[in-house]
Amino acid sequence: MSSCRYCGSSSHGSGCSYSPTRKHVHIADSSSCIYCGSSSYGSGCSYSPTGKHKHGHGGDKCAYCGSTSFGSGCSYSPNGCHEH
Protein backbone atom coordinates (compact mmCIF):
# COMPACT_ATOMS: atom_id res chain seq x y z
CA MET A 1 0.00 0.00 0.00
CA SER A 2 1.36 3.41 -0.94
CA SER A 3 1.19 6.60 1.07
CA CYS A 4 1.04 10.32 0.36
CA ARG A 5 4.49 11.85 0.00
CA TYR A 6 3.39 14.95 1.91
CA CYS A 7 1.42 13.58 4.87
CA GLY A 8 1.79 9.77 4.89
CA SER A 9 -1.94 9.11 4.51
CA SER A 10 -3.25 6.21 2.43
CA SER A 11 -6.09 8.43 1.12
CA HIS A 12 -6.33 9.74 -2.44
CA GLY A 13 -7.77 13.04 -3.66
CA SER A 14 -8.42 16.16 -1.61
CA GLY A 15 -7.62 16.56 2.05
CA CYS A 16 -3.84 16.77 2.32
CA SER A 17 -3.00 19.78 4.47
CA TYR A 18 0.69 19.72 3.48
CA SER A 19 0.44 19.42 -0.32
CA PRO A 20 0.62 22.67 -2.31
CA THR A 21 -2.54 21.61 -4.19
CA ARG A 22 -4.25 20.17 -1.08
CA LYS A 23 -4.43 16.81 -2.90
CA HIS A 24 -2.61 13.64 -1.88
CA VAL A 25 0.28 12.58 -4.14
CA HIS A 26 1.51 9.06 -3.46
CA ILE A 27 4.90 7.47 -3.54
CA ALA A 28 3.89 4.61 -5.81
CA ASP A 29 5.59 2.03 -7.98
CA SER A 30 5.01 1.62 -11.70
CA SER A 31 1.81 -0.38 -11.18
CA SER A 32 -0.37 2.49 -9.93
CA CYS A 33 -1.20 6.16 -10.49
CA ILE A 34 0.39 8.51 -7.94
CA TYR A 35 -2.79 10.61 -7.82
CA CYS A 36 -5.65 8.08 -7.66
CA GLY A 37 -4.10 4.62 -7.23
CA SER A 38 -5.59 3.24 -10.47
CA SER A 39 -3.67 0.83 -12.68
CA SER A 40 -4.97 2.72 -15.77
CA TYR A 41 -2.94 4.92 -18.10
CA GLY A 42 -4.05 7.97 -20.10
CA SER A 43 -7.02 10.23 -19.42
CA GLY A 44 -9.53 9.73 -16.64
CA CYS A 45 -7.71 10.62 -13.42
CA SER A 46 -9.96 12.95 -11.48
CA TYR A 47 -7.21 13.97 -9.03
CA SER A 48 -4.37 14.69 -11.48
CA PRO A 49 -3.77 18.36 -12.41
CA THR A 50 -3.77 17.33 -16.08
CA GLY A 51 -6.56 14.75 -15.87
CA LYS A 52 -4.10 12.05 -16.93
CA HIS A 53 -2.81 9.16 -14.85
CA LYS A 54 0.87 9.25 -13.89
CA HIS A 55 2.39 6.13 -12.39
CA GLY A 56 5.31 5.88 -10.02
CA HIS A 57 8.71 5.14 -11.46
CA GLY A 58 10.31 1.73 -11.77
CA GLY A 59 9.90 -1.42 -13.77
CA ASP A 60 11.61 0.31 -16.72
CA LYS A 61 8.24 1.66 -17.90
CA CYS A 62 7.06 5.13 -18.87
CA ALA A 63 5.14 6.74 -15.99
CA TYR A 64 2.49 8.08 -18.40
CA CYS A 65 1.82 5.21 -20.83
CA GLY A 66 3.58 2.08 -19.52
CA SER A 67 5.74 1.67 -22.62
CA THR A 68 9.34 0.49 -22.37
CA SER A 69 10.30 2.94 -25.14
CA PHE A 70 12.47 6.00 -24.57
CA GLY A 71 12.38 9.43 -26.22
CA SER A 72 9.46 10.97 -28.05
CA GLY A 73 6.21 9.23 -28.85
CA CYS A 74 4.27 9.25 -25.57
CA SER A 75 0.80 10.60 -26.29
CA TYR A 76 0.00 11.10 -22.59
CA SER A 77 3.03 12.94 -21.20
CA PRO A 78 2.97 16.75 -21.14
CA ASN A 79 6.00 17.07 -23.41
CA GLY A 80 5.38 14.03 -25.65
CA CYS A 81 8.40 12.12 -24.30
CA HIS A 82 8.43 8.88 -22.35
CA GLU A 83 9.39 9.41 -18.72
CA HIS A 84 11.10 6.57 -16.88
* Residue-wise pLDDT tens digits, 2-40: 899 999 999 999 999 999 999 999 998 999 999 999 999
How far apart CA 61 and CA 66 sit, in angstroms, is 5
How far apart CA 19 and CA 3 sit, in angstroms, is 13
Ordered DSSP codes for 23-69: B--EE--TTSBTTT--S--SB--SSSTTSB--BPS-TT--TTT----
Instruction: Tell me the pTM.
Output: 0.91
What is the rounded end-to-end Cα distance, in angstroms, of the chain? 21
What is the chain's mean pLDDT, rounded?
95
Q: Does the pLDDT value for residue 80 go beyond 80?
A: yes
